[in-house]
């Protein structure tokens, strides 16, 4: 079968024509490993699909049940990340503080570890890097242990075509008056919470229906979309009593890991130096580059050293995300400058760690005081009840692989770029399909990020529903046949890869009633018919599909349906309740006063040339 090759979207002088060196990846319509990630995620980190026969090209597919030691998951990943995953796992497991509690201090004050360990004193491994993703409901694999789910289902691309297609140029803006900042902040926080990379040796390519208008216009019937299964703990997947468990490569906490890294080695590379409290920057106060070759999602750039470096490897994934990273590196340095001026005799490490905890507090405040109320309704999240050391906040697979992938529905085909008068700049809007891995070309001067940051605040995001724009469904990373991918097919396939239980099984696990007929999922009769065409039974409906098909809970102000509202509330509540360093109990009174009332608008204005043209609540369009 032919597989769609990955080619660069833009910046052709920097991008190669494929990722690996196999002969099969050198020609048109052949397989190349793709950046298989939650590119616009309010949501987690990789996507996929499965088709008839598990969506596999059986000539290419390797054994599903790989438990033959650590040498299975090495090499360049599906996201274009050059790293030895097995070595990363060993490094994580060998660090102090994971198995036995370690008190980390600086300047007489306990501080967070960088790898997430030793937050919970009795369970120091909770929330640490390379933790197993938790499960709300039991895993559902075809063989009960590790084999891809969905063997009896339609191809993920076929389901995407039946349910998710949004017509070219069609816009379905939300009715809650919320802005594009909702999905961009969601992705930024997602990259603080979870990363489950694709492996390199387990191909489960997605079958494209014959005659697919975008991917098989010549009706060859032998086209597939490249897909690789996610990394997992190689000690799992051996039996029904030891099912395959995927791992979260980064910390689970809201701890600014996308800014500071999830291990001390990356953090050291991100700093200006060990005698400075500042984070490193490049010319014109932009993000630093990566000359030392730290693991990064490189997007198949021929010279990865020119890409930006952040705490999270996905910093270059799309240009709007890169702008957000830039703002927060500047915010760290702005706060560090103030503290250094106030405390000229203080140790630079004391200044650095104090700045870090203030930045983390601001991230937490914006997320819970601005973002979540805009997404879930003003009163949907429970009040903070204080720290509970019995709560394990480690990320749930149902959250990261389905319920927090809601952002894919929010994104529009074009991103506004506005000047200081909120008029379009001469270059016009940025097409979504031209935003992937292009920040290094778009951001040269210090204020180059400003127009996008203004534009996000002035455009209504797409309604959170089952529909997704062409830029993500057909043109992810480029044109079909020249890099284009269907992010929705990837979402569905990733759910099958993780052995996610069905929509109904997760509803039951969350204490909700099972749907008995398709009309129990949605009141939209057209969607009811589409669901019945995609699935034989309501019990076959997959989690991501069912969750986004539900009617939003308008009465509570939630833009999500009942199930995805419940999962998001559960995860975000546990992230707060189980965090011993949550800002409300960790900061001193003076520090609390410094961060009180923080808004995202305030942070943006303080670190750009943007002024009052940006409304005070950027999550709502004025």
Tell me the CATH number at 286: 1.10.640.10
Beta strands 247-248; 223-225: pairing state: unpaired
Report the predicted TM-score, pTM, of the whole model to 2 decimal places. 0.89
Contact 376, 563 (CB under 8 A): no
Degrees to nearest 5, angle at CA 602 with 598 and 603: 90
Query: Looking at 231-338, which runs of residues are DSSP E strands?
Result: 247-248
Q: Cα–Cα distance between 405 and 266 in angstroms, integer?
A: 27
Asked, for residue 290, whether it belongs to a domain, the answer is yes
Q: Cα–Cα distance between 411 and 432 in angstroms, integer?
A: 9
Contact 377, 557 (CB under 8 A): yes
Asked, for residue 567, whether it belongs to a domain, the answer is yes
pLDDT in the model for residue 72: 54
Q: What does DSSP assign to residue 403?
A: I
Catalytic pick among 191, 325, 408, 498: 191
pLDDT in the model for residue 116: 97
How far CA 405 is from CA of 518, 547, 569, in Å, comes to 22, 10, 14
Beta strands 228-230; 247-248: pairing state: unpaired
Structural tokens at position 543: 């989690």
List the one residue out of 531, 537, 573, 565 whose CA is nearest residue 549.
531
pLDDT under 70 in the chain at which residues? Answer: 1-80, 82, 200, 300, 475-484
pLDDT in the model for residue 300: 65
Is 498 a catalytic site residue? no
pLDDT in the model for residue 1: 52
The CB density around residue 609, as the number of other CB atoms within 10 Å, is 10
How far CA 396 is from CA of 14, 241, 308, in Å, comes to 37, 19, 30
List the one residue out of 199, 198, 224 whose CA is nearest residue 209.
224
**Tally of structural domains, the chain:** 1
Contact 248, 400 (CB under 8 A): yes
Q: Give me the torsion for CA of 438, 441, 446, 450, rounded to 10°.
A: -50
Element of type H or E holding 533: helix 525-534
Structural tokens at position 441: 């070309």
Asked, for residue 619, whether it belongs to a domain, the answer is no
Asked, for residue 618, whether it belongs to a domain, the answer is no
Asked, for residue 397, whether it belongs to a domain, the answer is yes
Q: Cα–Cα distance between 315 and 12 in angstroms, integer?
A: 19
> Which residues have CB under 8 Å from 196's CB, separation 6+?
44, 45, 46, 133, 230, 231, 246, 247, 248, 249, 400, 401
CA dihedral sign of residues 603, 605, 608, 610: positive
pLDDT in the model for residue 42: 30
Q: What does DSSP assign to residue 298?
A: -
Asked, for residue 231, whether it belongs to a domain, the answer is yes
Q: What does DSSP assign to residue 228?
A: E
- In 3-state terms, what secondary structure has residue 118? coil
Looking up tokens 């399909």, which residue turns up? Answer: 433
Contact 503, 541 (CB under 8 A): yes
pLDDT in the model for residue 77: 52
> Which residues have CB under 8 Å from 542's CB, separation 6+?
150, 153, 159, 492, 495, 496, 500, 502, 503, 535
- In 3-state terms, what secondary structure has residue 61? coil
pLDDT in the model for residue 54: 39
Q: What does DSSP assign to residue 424?
A: B
Cα-trace Rg, the chain: 23
Per the DSSP assignment, residues forming a β-bridge with 286 are 282
Beta strands 2-3; 223-225: pairing state: parallel
Contact 313, 296 (CB under 8 A): yes
Q: Cα–Cα distance between 264 and 114 in angstroms, integer?
A: 6
Domain of 200, in residue numbers? 2-606
Q: Cα–Cα distance between 507 and 515 in angstroms, integer?
A: 8
Asked, for residue 620, whether it belongs to a domain, the answer is no
Q: Cα–Cα distance between 246 and 234 in angstroms, integer?
A: 9
Asked, for residue 403, whether it belongs to a domain, the answer is yes
pLDDT in the model for residue 226: 87
> Which residues have CB under 8 Å from 169's CB, separation 6+?
413
């Amino acid at each position: 079968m032919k597989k769609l090759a990955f080619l660069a979207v833009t910046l052709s002088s920097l991008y190669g024509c494929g990722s690996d060196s196999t002969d099969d990846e050198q020609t048109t319509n052949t397989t190349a490993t793709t950046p298989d990630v939650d590119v616009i995620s309010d949501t987690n980190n990789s996507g996929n699909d499965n088709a008839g026969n598990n969506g596999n090209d059986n000539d290419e597919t390797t054994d599903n049940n790989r438990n033959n030691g650590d040498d299975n998951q090495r090499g360049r990943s599906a996201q274009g990340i050059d790293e030895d995953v097995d070595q990363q796992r060993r490094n994580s497991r060998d660090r102090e503080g994971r198995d036995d509690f370690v008190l980390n201090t600086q300047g007489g004050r306990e501080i967070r570890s960088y790898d997430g360990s030793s937050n919970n004193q009795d369970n120091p491994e909770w929330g640490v890097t390379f933790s197993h993703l938790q499960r709300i409901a039991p895993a559902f694999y075809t063989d009960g242990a590790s084999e891809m789910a969905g063997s009896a289902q339609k191809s993920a691309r076929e389901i995407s075509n039946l349910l998710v297609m949004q017509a070219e140029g069609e816009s379905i803006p939300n009715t809650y008056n919320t802005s594009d900042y909702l999905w961009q902040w969601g992705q930024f926080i997602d990259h603080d919470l979870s990363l489950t990379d694709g492996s390199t040796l387990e191909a489960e390519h997605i079958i494209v229906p014959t005659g697919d208008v975008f991917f098989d216009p010549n009706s060859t019937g032998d086209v597939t979309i490249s897909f690789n299964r996610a990394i997992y703990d190689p000690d799992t997947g051996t039996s029904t009593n030891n099912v395959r468990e995927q791992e979260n490569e980064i910390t689970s906490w809201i701890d600014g890991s996308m800014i500071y890294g999830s291990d001390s080695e990356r953090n050291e590379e991100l700093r200006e130096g060990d005698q400075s409290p500042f984070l490193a920057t490049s010319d014109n106060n932009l993000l630093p580059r990566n000359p030392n070759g730290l693991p990064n999602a490189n997007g198949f750039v021929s010279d990865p050293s020119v890409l930006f470096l952040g705490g999270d490897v996905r910093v270059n994934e799309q240009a709007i995300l890169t702008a957000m990273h830039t703002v927060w590196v500047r915010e760290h340095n702005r706060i560090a400058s103030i503290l250094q001026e106030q405390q000229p005799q203080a140790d630079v490490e004391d200044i650095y760690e104090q700045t870090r905890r203030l930045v983390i507090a601001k991230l937490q405040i914006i997320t819970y005081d601005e973002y979540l109320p805009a997404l879930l309704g003003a009163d949907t999240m429970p009040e903070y009840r204080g720290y509970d050391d019995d709560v394990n906040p480690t990320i749930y697979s149902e959250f990261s692989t389905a319920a927090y992938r809601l952002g894919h529905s929010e994104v529009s085909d074009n991103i506004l770029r506005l000047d200081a008068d909120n008029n379009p700049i001469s270059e016009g809007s940025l097409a979504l399909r031209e935003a992937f891995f292009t920040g290094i070309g778009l951001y040269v001067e210090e204020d180059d990020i400003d127009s996008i940051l203004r534009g996000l605040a002035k455009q209504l995001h797409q309604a959170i529903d089952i529909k997704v724009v062409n830029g993500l469904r057909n043109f992810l990373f480029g044109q079909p046949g020249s890099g284009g991918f269907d992010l929705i097919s990837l979402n569905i396939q990733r759910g099958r890869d993780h052995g996610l239980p069905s929509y109904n099984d997760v509803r039951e696990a969350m204490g909700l009633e099972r749907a008995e007929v398709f009309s129990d999922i949605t009141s939209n009769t057209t969607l009811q018919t589409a669901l019945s065409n995609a699935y034989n039974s309501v019990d076959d409906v997959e989690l991501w599909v069912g969750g986004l098909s539900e009617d939003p809970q308008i009465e509570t102000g939630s833009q999500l349906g009942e199930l995805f509202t419940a999962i998001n509330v559960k995860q975000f509540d546990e992230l707060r309740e189980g965090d011993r360093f949550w800002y409300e109990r960790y900061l001193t009174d003076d520090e609390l006063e410094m961060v009180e009332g923080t808004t995202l608008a305030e942070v943006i204005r303080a670190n750009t040339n943007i002024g009052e043209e940006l409304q005070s609540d950027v999550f709502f369009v004025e």
